[in-house]
Structure 1
Amino acid sequence: MTINSRAFVAGAFEHPLRNIPGKSVAEVHAEVARGALADAGLQMSDVDGYFCAGDAPGYGALSMSEYLGLDLRHMDTTEMGGSSYVAHVGHAAAAIAAGKCDVALITLAGLPRQKVRTLPLGPDAPEYGFEQAFGVTIPGLYAMAARRHMHEYGTTPEQLAAVKATASLHAQHNPHAFLQRVVTVDEVLESPYVSDPLHRLDCCVITDGGGALVVVRPEIARGLDRHCVRVLGHGEAVKHSSLGGFDITYTGAVWSGPRAFDEAGVTPADIDYASIYDSFTITVIETIEDLGFCAKGEGGKFAADGQLRADGGKLPWNTDGGGLCNNHPTNRGGMTKVIEAVRQLRGEAHPEVQVGDCQVVLAHGTGGSIASRMGSATLILGAEDA
């Protein structure tokens, strides 16, 4: 069964705040849910499918459905880290195509700046005793990937820094972005090391916040007074650590990307805009290579040559500033990737970064770590009449 054109994104909402004191995670889930439903022109009573990941409190979808007052016939609590909410759009489209639900609500919320945090890897995880005991950190894992990519392909710190500089060029036009100041390559390189070769400005921001999406049947989309976005294709993949015998210069996008492109019936050359997960600058460089936007080993040059810029680049990218500058709520940035992709297709991005005649877009999420086990999810969306 294909999901191509079997479902539409009708509503999208990103919480406007990046620091949210005095509220619970459940309250933020509810706020973004109301925002996305209002954007779609629908009500809580219209929702019969609910999707969330590990950021949802309590029993996840069960607790949140009661809190939101939802009468459901389908729930999905897939947890894939940062790629969860890219995957959930594909799962929602599949559920709608299978007749499991008609209106799917997807919500994300987190308050890491309020010290409401959970460890990404708890002591009951099977890999915990082999990794956490030796002091592994998330920046350290990505730094290993960056250093190996440099060794294999000659990628330079300046090329990594160009990714952040581009993100900041876009973020200056986003009034809600956590970091709105434009930074140069030199400023990235002058920021303190977090884990060599990654500097502080090579890393994503840590923000409170959240977002929500509403995915509906085509018949419902046609009846809404809203520009809806067509779901064209979706792919997922896992990449295991293979007991240490694996290559950390590529990601699961080498498999999830082709699956999504095949289902959508498009190629990388057809993509007008890309939202690509940017937990660290090296994440972007590896992913654009793996998705086929440039040859393997040329991601650094692609970024340094300005090809990710909205003003004339071959692949306008993360025009909201992405996780590097705008928003990375509770380490699950896939949600904001889909939201900005929807904005681009609707023509609702900031005029300075809006892609002209935007018809086909890609959103990609990375979960886990590119230097250990990871899960990738790729989503292709098209304009309503695509």
Structure 2
Amino acid sequence: MSFITGVGLTPFGRHEGRGTLDLMSMAAETALADAGLTRRDIDGVLCGYSTTMPHLMLATVFAEHFGLQPHYAHGVQVGGATGLAMAMLAHELVSAGRVRHMLVVAGENRLTGVSRDGAMQTLAQVGHPVYEVPLGPTIPAYYGLLASRYMHDFGVTEQDFAEFAVLMRRHAMDHPGAQYREPITVADVMASRVIATPLKLLDCCPVSDGGAALVISAAPTAAPAVRVRGCGQAHQHQHVSALADIAQVGAAAASARARERAGIAISDVRYAAVYDSFTVTLALLLEALGFAGRGEAAARARNGEFSRDGRLPLNTHGGLLSYGHCGCGGAMAHLVETQLQMTGRGGERQVRDASLAFIHGDAGVMSSHVSMVLERTR
């Protein structure tokens, strides 16, 4: 058994002069204070990777920088799913009694610390080194291929994808830390420049500076508490050229494993946080996870089902598409927002019922998947 006892999140966007360790420290300090703990209470550290500080021992470098001497520390690298993979590993270690208070932290100055071309070149390396990378595709190009196939298979349109960008921006407008808070419309999305057909600029998450952290503990430090009820992973392919069917990625398997451990059905979920690197990512994942039928996710978004006051509130901080994406910390922002919602601290964003939450992260080109089920307890 484990509990998310503290969370910390910086604003995402431009942090001139702040590097990886600065952003991680900002988030970690907030998480410790939120949990009511001191540095001496932390006996474990899990650290996400940073493309702007690719140190081979980043976890212990951070521990030294932040003034920690943990009994357990290492770095984790699972692409965009790293934040959730770290949270799952922390849950397993805490539940096994190896660690009492695990600090999970990630941060990166990806916007100001590296050039646009440098960032694109790094991210493109998820492609196959022989069959994909030499042809020059970027991450948006890989997801453009998925979007084209999804449109072909299910009859959706580019306007359907735009619904998700509009929804995430609407949610971000109420979060002071979001990178983008100006309202947008479907027409605005359609008018934005093409990045990788059929994806346009507003179909893609921005590059951000930022940091996120959370503390996972063996027992609650405050009430109400957020308990990790079940987790699951699935890794069915790495490269898009090995993906035979976009409807059969690992999301469904990861979700099933997490729900089996938690003993719940998908219909029991009251709040959802789902990885949204691109609008097509969100459409594919919502359907694979069972929150919408095939080809139906956009229509449900248009009808308000995923709005803050809808049937299943989704990414109420604005998600990667509008809160921003700083690497490993991007998906961790989903976790932070979920814990705030579950403890009634969402402020203007607070939903009616976040008693049982489902979180899902994806990495690569729909390659690695991590699902988590959280419940509020008293």
Is 1:321 aligned to residue 318 of structure 2?
yes
**Equivalence for 1:309:** 307
Residue 176 of structure 1: aligned partner = 177
* Conserved 8 A contact 2:49-2:328: no
**SS of residue paired to 1:52:** strand
Offset at residue 136 of structure 1 (A): 1.2
Aligned residue number for residue 62 of structure 1: 60
C-alpha displacement of 1:121:
5.3
1:369 aligns with 2:365: yes
1:191-340 to structure 2, matched below 5 A, reads 191-218=192-219, 221=220, 224-225=221-222, 227-240=224-237, 241=239, 244=242, 246-311=244-309, 313-330=310-327, 332-340=329-337
Q: Is the 8 A contact 2:235 2:369 kept in 1?
A: yes
Is 1:53 matched up with 2:48? yes
Structure 1 match to 2:376? 383
Residue 3 of structure 1 is matched in structure 2 by none
1:139 alignment partner AA = P
**Percent of pairs with identical residues:** 31
- Unaligned residue ranges in structure 2 (runs of 5+): none
Could you say which residue in structure 2 is the equivalent of 1:112? 110
TM-score (norm 1): 0.91
- In the TM superposition, what whole-angstrom CA distance separates every residue of 1:248-293 from its partner, at most 9, and x where no partner exists? 3443211111111111111111111111111000001100111111
3-state secondary structure, aligned to 1:256: helix
SS in 2 for 1:94: helix
Give the structure 2 partner of residue 15 of structure 1: 10
Structure 2 CA distance for partners of 1:35 and 1:57, relative to 1, 3 Å: farther
Structure 1 position 39 matched with structure 2 position 34: yes
Q: SS state of the match for residue 333, structure 1?
A: helix
Deviation of 1:294 after TM superposition, in Å, equals 1.6
**1:69-98 deviation line (CA, Å, top 9, x unaligned):** 222222242211111111111110110111
- 8 A contact 1:148–1:249 mirrored in 2: no
Q: Post-superposition shift, 1:364?
A: 1.0
Query: Could you say what secondary structure the match of 1:380 adopts?
Result: strand
Judge conservation of contact 1:104–1:214 (CA < 8 Å) in 2: yes
Count of residue correspondences: 369
Closer/same/farther in 2, CA of residues 126 and 320 from structure 1, 3 Å limit: closer
C-alpha change, 1:28 and 1:268, in structure 2 (3 Å) is same
CA distance in 2, matches of 1:170, 1:270: 23
Contact 2:60 2:74 in 1 (8 A): no
Provide the rounded CA distance (Å) in 1 between the counterparts of 2:353 and 2:300: 23
2:131 aligns to what SS in structure 1?
helix
Matched, 1:357 2:358: no
Aligned-partner SS, 1:36: helix
Instruction: Please name the residue that 2:146 is paired with.
Output: 145
Structure 2 CA distance for aligned equivalents of residues 205 and 32 of structure 1: 20
**Which deviates more, 34-43 or 56-65?**
56-65
Question: How far 1:341 sits from its partner (Å)?
Answer: 0.7
Where 2:123 maps in the other structure, the secondary structure is coil
Counterpart CA distance in 2 for 1:376 and 1:225 is: 30
Supply the distance in 2 between the matched residues of 1:280 and 1:253 (Cα, whole angstroms).
Answer: 16
Q: Which runs of 4+ in 1 moved over 6 A?
A: none
SS in 1 for 2:195: strand
Task: Note if contact 1:57-1:63 (Cα within 8 Å) is conserved in structure 2.
Answer: no
How much does 1:132 deviate? 1.3
Question: How has the CA–CA distance of structure 1 residues 245 and 30 changed in structure 2, closer, same or farther, with 3 Å as cutoff?
Answer: closer
Counterparts of 1:153 and 1:96, CA distance in 2: 43
Deviations 1:295-331 (A, max 9, x none): 22322322232221112x2221010111111121136
Which one-letter code corresponds to 2:373 in the other structure? I
TM-score by length of 2: 0.93
Alpha-carbon distance between aligned partners in 2 of 1:211 and 1:331, rounded to the nearest angstrom:
8
What is the CA–CA distance in structure 1 between the aligned matches of 2:2 and 2:243, rounded to whole Å? 40
CA RMSD of aligned residues (A): 1.8
